Chain A
Amino acid sequence: MTEHSKKIGDPLLKVDNISLGFGGVQALSNISFEIREHEILAIIGPNGAGKTSMLNVINGFYHPQQGTITFRGEVRRAMRPYIAARQGIARTFQNVALFKGMSTLDNIMTGRNLRMQSNFFWQILHYGPARREEIEHRRRVEEIIDFLEIQAIRRVPVGKLPYGLQKRVELARALAMEPELLLLDEPMAGMNVEEKEDMSRFILDVNEQFGTTIALIEHDMGVVMDISDRVVVLDYGRKLADGTPDEVRGNQGVIDAYLGVPHE
């Protein structure tokens, strides 16, 4: 991976007037914001605000009834998660979604799957181009293992790992895709203070070292205010605010949402 210097640039992904409903429930209404190159954007909001729905829309799992998403200047059509992955969007999940019986190393290798060129035949033989390719992919994976400091669990089945480490392996697998945009759904949920600090540091390091653009959902306000460049606040499917952590902190609508002012 090449090193980048962090300089927040032009919008990488633009969300325009997105509305998403499931039957009678309006999960998202008229949401617009942008994710800029090389930034860390936090999406916050109370439970049920539509945060995860928003991520699911961005990576093509949900199809909004209205609105457009523009990624790298192209308005996207019929979207599927694997297309998003191919375009350079990787994500982690709120509930860890790893292959529990496989080792850390193998889990991370699956993140390289999209980048493997050789065909099934050569892969079965593990010979020729497939072999060379695997060695190169393994090298990339080892860089990530080194980066996230998980050498000691390389061969351990992930099902045996404590939760905090599983989260880290999931991040490693997402990084193995060498994504341009990384979506993290509550990367620090259920972690203790020390694990949160570690994870925050890794997120900042990824952003700085590889220049990866990151959009994350997080409940811990301390973490959000510390590590994000910008914050988008959702409440009941609507966008309440959008700005730097300081701007958001002083926004009356946000304060009301968090303190629980009755909705008319």
Chain B
Amino acid sequence: MTAADTFPKLLRENAARIGGRPACREKDMGIWQSWTWTQIADEVRALACGLAALGFKPGDRIVIVGDNRPRLYWTMTAAQAIGGVPVPVYQDAVADEMAYVVDHAGARFAMAEDQEQVDKLMEIMPRCAQLEQIVYDDRRGMRNYHQAFLHDFDTVQEKGRDFDREHPDFYEQSVAAGKGSDVSVMLYTSGTTGKPKGVVLNHANVMCTARNNQKMEGLDDRDEILAYLPMAWVGDHIFSFGQNYTAGFCVNCPESPATVMQDLRDIGPTYFFAPPRIFENILTAVMVRMEDASAIKRAGFDFFMGLAARVGTRILDRKPVGLVDRALYALGDLLVYGPLKNTLGFSRIRLAYTAGEAIGPDIFDFFRALGINLKQLYGMTEASVFITVQPDGEITPDAVGRPAPEVEVKIAESGEVLFRGPGTFVEYYKNPEATAETKDPQGWVHTGDAGLFLENGHLKIIDRAKDVGRLTDGTLFAPKYIENKLKFFPNIKEAVAFGANRDSAAAFINIDATAMGNWAERNNIAYGGYTELASNPQVLKIIKGHVEQVNRDLARDPHLGGSQIARFLVLHKELDADDGELTRTRKVRRPFIAERYAPLIEALYSGAATGHIETEVTFEDGRKGQLKADIAIVDADTFPIAAPLKKAG
């Protein structure tokens, strides 16, 4: 259908095909400003020529750092047009992190959003010998910067227009020289361990995955998306750049990071991505506001949300629903769902994705019940995002869907998920060892995640491969999978599961002080502090109920049913990053906890009724103290495991 194999060529094609359609918008001075494809083609051309006039050569890298701004997206295409490689960097990266990326990528050029980013780049310049020129978008606060290597965006474009007049063939020839196998972007993965790795993708990678998904979901130039996630993240690169070009839809850039929710409402996107955390925050905000609503409104909300929970997802999936329920749902849409979606900016959503971590089933179902087509996908930078996607109408809530078009997925002996497809990355930049470790000669990429295929062909991710273990009887034990199931209960803040090389699984649990505190207040239960609340017998009973619910869920799974939680305890203190128990991003540091709380783990497995523990804690002011406690250990009921499902037929 199309001959364009690079994004600059695709830009030219879009300008010819849908030149008058809006390609991007930005809210500036309170008003949405739009650019059509024709205008963008012109802007990109001027910028590309301007960069060339500044000495940008084919193969050069340009670091792009800032919030989602149209001009920063144009910089990507402009760099590609003259054979360069854009390297978007996380805008909140501190100078050290940025220095590593800029230096490793060997970038000679940088595009900065504003003074803040310029300051950071200037700070790291002495450490990044290759960095020569910095262009900035926002002039504010830049009036006293007179360095010769700093360039205002408009000036660069002016220079570019002059350059274009003097070298009228330059731009067209440069664009024509591009090939699909040319590197189109380098994305540095944040990486929890070691230094970030630069994932190299080419035009074919990005374009093919973007286009395959676009066709599968039927996206076209009438769609609207809000670009609010970091440009350095592969998801934004595919949704707000790749698919922006392949589908020709409009990308909307918010006014500022603080206004995203209002801008979402202004635009009412048809296509939306958010990590589970954001959906969770939205749901919480809705629930809090409903608490303050009048009794009549609350009653209406409860009634219709109950109805939606029963039939909403079935209607969305086009499954049979009784006539009365259908009519009531239509009424609910008029009275509750519609206005609610409108308030949230979700009125026009045709397709919403979530990914990155497990989403709580309550949260997932809430949005689906409202009639929002929210789906999960599984992806990573090395795959140009899409590995699996949940197809419309075929949603298995705790699985991540079927392999995306043209992507092959298989499970290795070890249980690790492997994939290969058109989006498979070229290499890690300047790191052949890591490339060889991750990608085998046949093109299979090791994801590092452990997963399995369900009977219906959907992939289920259970944990990081290195964390998955087995009980002594050989049952699969995936700690994070169990912990996530526990943490989906609002009363449970953190959980740490044990079981590798043990007879049974057991868990430490942290109650959520806010949720349980509210409950205690409503039920007139007095408590002196966290420790007292955590040891309250009624609290333990509630938590026991939650644990048994998780066990019931686990029992339904033939693979993981054996790892039901036999015994658990509620910790006397909250796990804290200051004590080294969590990472700064609130991930549980399992080995450290196992060591620190060894007596408690022993008690869990010895059959004792209580465990004694003495720990050192660090207070907020840095002082240290001793905390002693005897902690009750609770036995939880386990359930018979379901037999593996027989194939139908």
Contact = CB atoms under 8 A, between A and B. Distances in A.
Is B truly associated with A?
yes
Interface stretch (B42-50, B68-76, B251-259): B251-259
A151 B255 contact: yes
A239 to B, nearest CB: 33
A151 B255 CA distance: 7
A145 B30 contact: yes
B30 A208 contact: no
Chain A CB within 10 A, most for which of B30, B143, B144 = B30
B66 to A, nearest CB: 15
Contact of B143 (A3, A138, A151): A3
A196 interface: no
Interface in A191-214: 205, 208-209
A147 B259 CA distance: 15
Contacts of B144: 208
A149 interface: yes
Contacts of B31: 142
A108 to B, nearest CB: 11
B288 interface: no
A221 B356 CA distance: 49
Interface string A148-159: 010110110000
B616 to A, nearest CB: 31
B141 A151 contact: no
Nearest to A3: B143
Given A3-B143, A205-B141, A149 B30 contact: no
B143 A146 contact: no
A151 B253 CA distance: 14
Contacts of B130: none
Contacts of B3: none
Interface string B21-40: 00000001111000000000
A139 B29 contact: yes
Given A3-B143, A208-B143, A152 B256 contact: yes
Nearest to A146: B29
A143 interface: yes
Interface string B232-265: 0000000000000000000000011011001000
A151 B141 CA distance: 18
Nearest to B31: A142
B228 to A, nearest CB: 13
Contacts of B255: 151
A73 to B, nearest CB: 29
Nearest to A138: B30
B507 to A, nearest CB: 40
Nearest to B256: A151
Contacts of B30: 138, 142, 145, 151, 154
A152 B256 CA distance: 8
Interface string B575-589: 000000000000000
A71 to B, nearest CB: 28
Interface in B182-211: none
Given A139-B29, A145-B30, A152 B259 contact: yes
A149 to B, nearest CB: 7
Contacts of A145: 29-30
**What secondary structure prevails in chain A residues at the interface with B?**
helix
A146 B256 CA distance: 10
B601 to A, nearest CB: 43
B180 to A, nearest CB: 40
A146 B31 CA distance: 12
B143 A209 contact: yes
A110 B551 CA distance: 62
A42 B75 CA distance: 44
Contact of A152 (B140, B143, B262): B262
A20 to B, nearest CB: 40
A138 B29 CA distance: 9
B74 to A, nearest CB: 21
Contact of A142 (B29, B143, B262): B29
B226 to A, nearest CB: 15
B143 A143 contact: no
Contacts of A151: 30, 255-256, 258-259
A152 B263 CA distance: 10
A143 B141 contact: no
A139 B256 CA distance: 18
A217 B259 CA distance: 33
B258 A152 contact: yes
A139 B30 CA distance: 9
B265 to A, nearest CB: 11
A149 B115 CA distance: 14
Contacts of B256: 149, 151-152
A142 B32 CA distance: 13
Nearest to A154: B30
A129 B259 CA distance: 32
A47 to B, nearest CB: 33
A145 B255 CA distance: 11
Interface string B117-151: 00000000000000000000000110110000000
Contacts of B143: 3, 5, 208-209
A68 B256 CA distance: 48
Nearest to A105: B30
A147 B139 CA distance: 11
Interface in B150-178: none
A208 to B, nearest CB: 7
B388 to A, nearest CB: 37
Nearest to A143: B29
Contacts of A5: 143
A143 B31 CA distance: 11
Contacts of A208: 143-144
Chain A CB within 10 A, most for which of B29, B140, B255, B258 = B29
A206 to B, nearest CB: 12
B140 to A, nearest CB: 8
A172 B256 CA distance: 18
Nearest to B29: A142
Contacts of A3: 143
Nearest to A141: B30
A3 B139 CA distance: 12
Nearest to B141: A205
28 contacts: A3-B143, A5-B143, A138-B30, A139-B29, A142-B29, A142-B30, A142-B31, A143-B29, A145-B29, A145-B30, A146-B28, A146-B29, A147-B140, A149-B256, A151-B30, A151-B255, A151-B256, A151-B258, A151-B259, A152-B256, A152-B258, A152-B259, A154-B30, A155-B262, A205-B141, A208-B143, A208-B144, A209-B143
By Cβ-Cβ distance, the 10 closest A-B pairs, closest first, are A152-B258, A142-B29, A142-B30, A152-B259, A151-B255, A151-B256, A151-B259, A146-B29, A152-B256, A154-B30
Given A139-B29, A152-B259, A209-B143, 8 more contacts: A145-B29, A145-B30, A146-B29, A151-B255, A151-B256, A152-B256, A152-B258, A205-B141
